[in-house]
Amino acid sequence: MQQAEVAVIGAGVVGLCIALRLASEGRDVLVIDPEVPGSGTSYGNAGTIADYAVQPVGTPAVLRALPSLLFDRNSPLAIRQAALPALAPWLARFLRQSLPARAEANARVLAGLLADASALWAGLAADIGAGALMQDRGCLYWYQTDAGLAAAKADIAFRRSLGVTVQLLTAGELQALEPGLPVAGGGGAFFPGARFLTDPGRVMVLLAEAAARAGARFVRAPVEALSVEGPAVTLTGPGLRASARHAVIAAGLPTRRPARVGGGPGAVAPARGGPLGRGTGRARAAAGWRGWRATGCRSTPSGAIIWNGTWPARR
């Protein structure tokens, strides 16, 4: 049996950052993941350090759009009927958190968490040798119509009230900033504090290497059961039996089988995110929802297109 002070389940960006921090403080850390560190969702994404992303997923706007989200075949929301009984308690909580007062409170919490994210990531990138892979170019929201821009002003004002720096752009200012966009009206919102990683996959490699240099150990195996036995946490799975004083769950969903906690009926079953599409060629602006476009897709140095927040079918 392998032993450690802290077992970190999941070797994505969250798990790797936790492992690096704890190992750098002298903790004995064991990172467990069935795949190569950083090769899942943390590899295929837009790599944005989004200090502006203070709006929670659950908002009154989502509640209003729920019917169309449920019945539109191109919607990012899909619920399997067989899963409804298990999801019902979570869905009820989500609906409550989407009400105006709760959504605003959640946004304020997110704003506090993100306030120094950009500066902290700049420091982390420098520490692991990824400084050249971080670009300080901001993020641009493109509203294609005057109505879309007008509808966004309340959201922009709310973000500003939470400390987010944002510049509203007229159609002319947007065209000057991005001459390649076919601007015919509307305008844009520019968030100068946002940064992005040009190659998230490479950053994950450097992050894993830094954690290993700090003393973290890595095990390639799935965790299928977690139980508390006295002062220790025991983790088991195919080819795995480990014990730790503390366990951190920072995992996606590599398989359909959820981890069992304390012998319970699959209490840990996190949802898996991922890139919406990858391919070769040049990145194109991806059409978003309700009249705005997000320049959230780009190409990596290898030529792969990374989409963020939209379906490729809507480009």
Residue 2: Cβ-neighbour burial (10 angstroms; 0-12, 13-18, 19+): middle
Distance (Å, rounded) from C-alpha 293 to C-alpha 296? 9
| Confidence band, pLDDT 50/70/90 cuts, at residue 260 | low
Within-domain flag for 74: yes
Q: Higher-confidence residue: 112 or 259?
A: 112
pLDDT value, residue 255 = 44
Enclosing domain of residue 78: 60-97
DSSP H helices in the chain: 13-24, 60-71, 84-97, 100-114, 117-128, 146-161, 171-177, 200-213
pLDDT at 171: 94
Q: How big is the chain, counted in residues?
A: 315
Mean pLDDT on 196-224: 96
What are the structure tokens assigned to 140, written together?
A: 């641009």
Across residues 201-218, what is the average pLDDT?
Answer: 97
Q: Which residues contact 215 (CB under 8 A, 6 or more apart)?
A: 23, 26, 28, 29
Query: Does pLDDT of 33 surpass 80?
Result: yes
Q: Is residue 124 part of a domain?
A: no
In a domain, 148, yes or no: no
Q: Is residue 116 part of a domain?
A: no
Percent of the chain residues topping a pLDDT of 90: 62
Inside any domain, residue 180 = no
The answer to whether residue 253 sits within a structural domain is: no
Amino acid at 128: I
Residue 280 lies in a domain: no
Answer yes or no: is 286 within a domain.
no
Average pLDDT of the segment spanning 207-219? 97
pTM for this model (two decimals):
0.75
Buried/exposed code over 10-34 (b: 16+ C-beta within 10 A; e: otherwise): bbbbbbbbbbbebbbeebbbbbbbb
Counting the structural domains of the chain, the total is 1
Q: Would you state the structure tokens that stand for residue 119, as one six-digit string?
A: 């500066």
The pLDDT, as a whole number, for residue 231 is 87
Pairing mode, strands 286-287 and 292-294: antiparallel
Average pLDDT score over residue span 131-159: 93
Query: Taking 70 as the threshold, does the pLDDT of residue 304 lie above it?
Result: no
User: 233 or 76: which carries more pLDDT confidence?
Assistant: 233
Q: Which of 190, 225, 177, 197 is nearest to 38 (CA)?
A: 197
